[in-house]
Amino acid sequence: MAIEKPIEIGNRIKELRSLKGLSQEELANNCGLDRTYINAVEKGKRNITLVSLKRITESLNITFKNFFDENYIYPTADANKVFLISCDTDNYNKTMINGVKVSDIDKYFSENDAENIKKFADNGLIYIWGTSSGNTSKFRELNINDVCVFSKQKKIIGTSTLLYKCESTKFSKKFWKNKKNPDFIWPNIFIMSKPIELNIDAYKLLEAGKYKKTFVQGFTIPRGKHNVLIKQYLEEKLKIN
pLDDT in tens, 194-240: 999 988 887 777 777 666 655 555 445 555 556 666 777 777 776 64
Do residue 164 and residue 48 come from a single domain?
no
DSSP assignment letter at 42: H
Do residue 220 and residue 106 come from a single domain?
yes
Residue 182 lies in a domain: yes
Residue 77 lies in a domain: no
Do residue 61 and residue 154 come from a single domain?
no
Residue 219 parent element (H or E)? strand 219-220
Segments forming the whole domain that contains residue 134: 82-240
Q: Could you tell me what percent of the chain has a pLDDT over 70?
A: 80
Mean pLDDT of the chain: 82
Do residue 58 and residue 88 come from a single domain?
no
Burial class (CB in 10 A: 0-12, 13-18, 19+), 112: exposed
Nearest alpha carbon to residue 184 among 197, 169, 199, 196: 169
Domain tally, the chain: 2
Do residue 49 and residue 137 come from a single domain?
no
Residue 138 lies in a domain: yes
Residue 12 lies in a domain: yes
pLDDT in tens, 40-99: 999 889 999 999 999 999 988 888 888 887 656 555 544 467 788 888 889 999 999 999
Do residue 63 and residue 87 come from a single domain?
no
